[in-house]
């Protein structure tokens, strides 16, 4: 395998890990909502906790990653505000509608990423990428049981929020790719989360979200959302974007519904219907096909 091939395969693996961590945090977030925590409180805790963890890690391990050009501060502020929107719209959506429906709608994000790449960046994507996108999105629809979802009778605010999460997640993906042309993924993630935390401590009374949880189970769920679902997930996702690009990383991340189903099967005893299993197989096949569709010079 060539060096480029190893880099690309690592990128797919990292994007898949991000999907796993997001799936874990989605379940934990739903548990918190069912126990009285609001989306406003959780997004404030999530961004603040994650920014604090990454700052502590970088401060003691590699302070050079905290250095940025003053001229780039507007970029990081806009990235942080965008990330604050991603976090809130997704959490608000799953607090109002089924988690499966929220995931289904948010994972239209690869469509927006591809449209941006083709229409505005004038990037030519091979037909295999569009085929993989169609396969992964249809597979995602099957996995979450989209054929059983009566979207017209769901909470309208939740549906609109889920759609907004798809748009903002696509925007975040593209803007991260831009930022990582100049900075390492750790730097981009930290400042994105820092300004997201600042945003939510201005929009919601500062740090009051941390007064809401009670008991080990709720605090454990907050840590799952803040550490696994934010710090590790976004680091893995940004590292994936750096290696395989925004479009391929966003398609690979559609593995989230599959991992969410596996988690529910392992810990909640939930079973999957035949169509859901077929959908999972289609998503995996699409991502394998996407990886194999790389140019010969990129393959090992």
| Local mean pLDDT, 10-residue blocks, the chain (300 residues) | 76 91 84 90 96 96 94 96 93 80 75 76 75 81 74 76 90 90 94 97 95 94 94 94 87 79 66 78 78 48
Identify the sign of the CA torsion 109, 114, 117, 118. negative
Give the pLDDT score at 300.
38
Q: How many Cβ atoms are within 10 Å of 227's Cβ, its own excluded? A: 17
CB 78 within 8 A of CB 188: no
Cβ burial of 125 (10 Å; 0-12, 13-18, 19+) is: middle
Q: Taking the model in full, what pTM does it have? A: 0.82
- Contact residues for 87 (Cβ-Cβ < 8 A; gap 6+): 43, 46, 47, 196, 200, 230
> For 188-246, how does the pLDDT look when each residue is reduced to its tens digit (9 = 90+)?
999 999 999 999 999 999 999 999 999 999 999 999 999 999 999 999 999 999 998 88
- Contact residues for 86 (Cβ-Cβ < 8 A; gap 6+): 165, 168, 169, 172
Give the pLDDT score at 239.
92
- Residue 141: both structure tokens together: 């629809």
Give the pLDDT score at 299.
38
């Amino acid at each position: 395998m060539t060096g480029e091939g190893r880099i690309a395969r690592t990128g797919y693996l990292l994007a898949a890990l991000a999907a796993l961590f997001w799936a874990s945090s989605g379940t934990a977030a739903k548990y918190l909502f069912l126990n009285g925590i609001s989306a406003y409180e959780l997004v404030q805790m999530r961004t603040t906790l994650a920014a604090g963890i990454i700052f502590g890690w970088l401060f003691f391990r590699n302070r050079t990653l905290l250095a940025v050009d003053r001229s780039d501060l507007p970029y990081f502020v806009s990235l942080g505000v965008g990330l604050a929107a991603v976090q809130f719209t997704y959490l608000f959506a799953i607090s109002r509608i089924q988690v499966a429906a929220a995931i289904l709608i948010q994972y239209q994000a690869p469509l927006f990423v591809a449209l941006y790449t083709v229409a505005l960046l004038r990037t030519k994507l091979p037909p295999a990428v569009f085929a993989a996108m169609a396969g992964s999105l249809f597979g995602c629809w099957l996995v979450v049981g989209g054929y059983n979802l009566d979207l017209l009778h769901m909470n309208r605010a939740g549906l609109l929020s889920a759609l907004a999460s798809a748009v903002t997640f696509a925007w975040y993906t593209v803007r991260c790719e831009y930022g990582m042309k100049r900075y390492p993924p750790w730097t981009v993630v930290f400042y994105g989360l820092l300004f997201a935390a600042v945003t939510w401590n201005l929009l919601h009374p500062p740090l009051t979200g941390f007064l809401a949880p009670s008991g080990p189970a709720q605090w454990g769920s907050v840590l799952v959302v803040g550490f696994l679902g934010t710090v590790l997930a976004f680091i893995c996702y940004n590292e994936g974007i750096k290696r395989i690009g925004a479009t391929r990383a966003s398609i690979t991340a559609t593995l989230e519904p599959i991992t969410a189903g596996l988690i529910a099967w392992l810990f909640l005893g939930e079973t999957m219907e035949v169509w859901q299993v077929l959908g999972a197989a289609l998503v995996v096949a699409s991502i394998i096909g996407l990886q194999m569709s790389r140019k010969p010079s990129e393959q090992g």
